[in-house]
Structure formats: C-alpha cells, structure tokens
Amino acid sequence: MRCHYEVLSVSRDADAPQIKKAFRLQALRWHPDKHQQNGVSSEEATLQFQALQNAYEVLSDPHEKKWYDDHREQILR
C-alpha cells in the first residue's frame, strides 16, 4: 500500500483546498476514460485512479485524515 499523501503528491501538512486541487489534477491525468499517457494501459490507469479516489476519500474527511495520520506508520508497514 502506498501512502495517501504520495498518491496525491501532496505534503503531510496539506490543507483541504490543496488536497482537493491535487486530486482534481491527478484525476484528470489518470481517469481511465481520459488518460493520455503513452504506454499506459487502461488497466493501469484504472488502478491508479482507484488509488487516487481512496486517498482523497480519506484525506478530505477531517476525522478520517486524523485517524490515518495517527496510524500511518502502522498501516504502511
């Protein structure tokens, strides 16, 4: 499992607007219907997009974000 902050390419002290902006930028890049990456399969784009959605769901909710921050080291082991 990758760190949610790494998935969204934001720092651990990113605030809600920064997280939202990063998600939107990455979603445009990796959306399975719109990705324009040469050499990137639709399956890979789908997996990356799902990881983005999961990371955004956690980091955009203040309670989930706090829990994730408190348990991040254990989760990533």
- Identify residue 75 by its one-letter amino acid code: I
Domain segments of the chain as ranges: 4-75
The predicted-structure confidence for 44-65, as pLDDT tens digits, reads as follows 888 999 999 999 999 999 999 9
pLDDT for 21 equals: 98
pLDDT for 36 equals: 60
- Identify residue 27 by its one-letter amino acid code: A
- C-alpha 46: how far from its chain's center? 13
pLDDT for 40 equals: 76
User: Maximum CA pair distance of the chain?
Assistant: 38
pLDDT for 45 equals: 86
Handedness of CA 61, 6, 13, 18 (dihedral sign): negative
pLDDT for 37 equals: 58
Q: Which CATH superfamily hosts domain 4-75?
A: DnaJ domain (1.10.287.110)
pLDDT for 25 equals: 95
Point out the residues of the chain with pLDDT beneath 70: 35-39
